Amino acid sequence: MPIGLEQSSTTLKVPQRKATPSDNKVDSILPEILAELRKSVPGQQFDMWFSCLKISSVDESSITFITPNNFIKEWFSGNYKDTFSGVVYRVLNSSREVIFLAEDEALKQSITSSLASNGAHTSLSKLPAYEGRMNSLNGYYRFENFIVGPCNRLAHAAAVAVSESPGLAYNPLFIHGASGLGKTHLLHAINNVLLSRRTIRTLYLSCEQFVNHFISTIRSNNWDEFRNLYRNLDVLLLDDIQFFENLQGCREEFFHTFNALYNARKQIVITSDCPPESLSSQEDRLVSRFKWGLLCSVDSPTIETRVAIIEKKASLMNINLTHDFASYLAEHIHGNIRDIEGAIVRLGKELKVTRNTITLDFIKKVIREVTGIKKSVNIEAVLHAVSERFNVSISQLQSKSRTRSLILPRQIAMHLSRKLTNMSLTEIGGFIGGRDHSTVIHADGKITKLLKKDKNLLFVLQKIEGELQR
CATH of the domain at 199: 3.40.50.300
pLDDT in tens, 111-127: 444 334 433 333 333 33
Percentage, residues of the chain above pLDDT 70: 81
Between the two ends of the chain, the Cα-to-Cα distance in Å is 53
CATH of the domain at 77: 3.30.300.180
State how far Cα 304 lies from the chain centre: 19
Residue 59 near residue 36, CB atoms below 8 Å:
no
274 and 178 belong to one structural domain: yes
At 115 the pLDDT is 38
388 and 366 belong to one structural domain: no
Regarding pTM above 0.95, the answer is no
**Considering 297, 331, 357, which residue would you say is the last residue of a domain?**
297
At 279 the pLDDT is 75
257 and 139 belong to one structural domain: yes
Q: What is the DSSP string of 348-409?
A: HHHHHHH-PPP-HHHHHHHHHHHH---SPPPHHHHHHHHHHHHT--HHHHTSS---HHHHHH
- Residue 57 main-chain phi, psi, to 5 deg: -160, 155
166 and 145 belong to one structural domain: yes
Closest Cα to residue 312, out of 77, 144, 74?
Answer: 144
CATH of the domain at 350: 1.10.8.60
Q: Which of 168-172, 338-342, 390-394 has the highest mean pLDDT?
A: 390-394
Tell me whether residue 183 is in a domain. Answer: yes
At 162 the pLDDT is 92
- The DSSP bridge partners found for residue 296 are 175
157 and 34 belong to one structural domain: no
Q: Would the pLDDT of 1 be above 50?
A: no
At 75 the pLDDT is 79
**Considering 347, 371, 395, which residue would you say is the last residue of a domain?**
371
**Residue 197, domain extent:** 124-297
**Considering 102, 135, 160, which residue would you say is the last residue of a domain?**
102
Tell me whether residue 2 is in a domain. Answer: no
Q: Which of 117-126, 239-248, 320-329, 379-388 has the highest mean pLDDT?
A: 379-388
Tell me whether residue 7 is in a domain. Answer: no
Confidence of residue 281 (pLDDT cuts 50, 70, 90): low
**Spatial distance between the Cα atoms of 418 and 432, rounded to a whole number of angstroms:** 12
CATH of the domain at 417: 1.10.1750.10
- Residue 262 main-chain phi, psi, to 5 deg: -65, -45
412 and 310 belong to one structural domain: no
**Spatial distance between the Cα atoms of 434 and 439, rounded to a whole number of angstroms:** 10
Q: Which of 82-86, 281-285, 392-396, 405-409 has the lowest mean pLDDT?
A: 281-285
Q: How many domains does the chain have?
A: 4
State the Cα torsion 158-161-163-164 to the nearest 10°: 180
264 and 388 belong to one structural domain: no
Tell me whether residue 13 is in a domain. Answer: no
254 and 398 belong to one structural domain: no
129 and 96 belong to one structural domain: no
267 and 236 belong to one structural domain: yes
290 and 357 belong to one structural domain: no
Q: What is the DSSP string of 248-265?
A: HHHHHHHHHHHHHHHHTT
Tell me whether residue 117 is in a domain. Answer: no
At 9 the pLDDT is 30
Q: Would the pLDDT of 330 be above 50?
A: yes
165 and 238 belong to one structural domain: yes
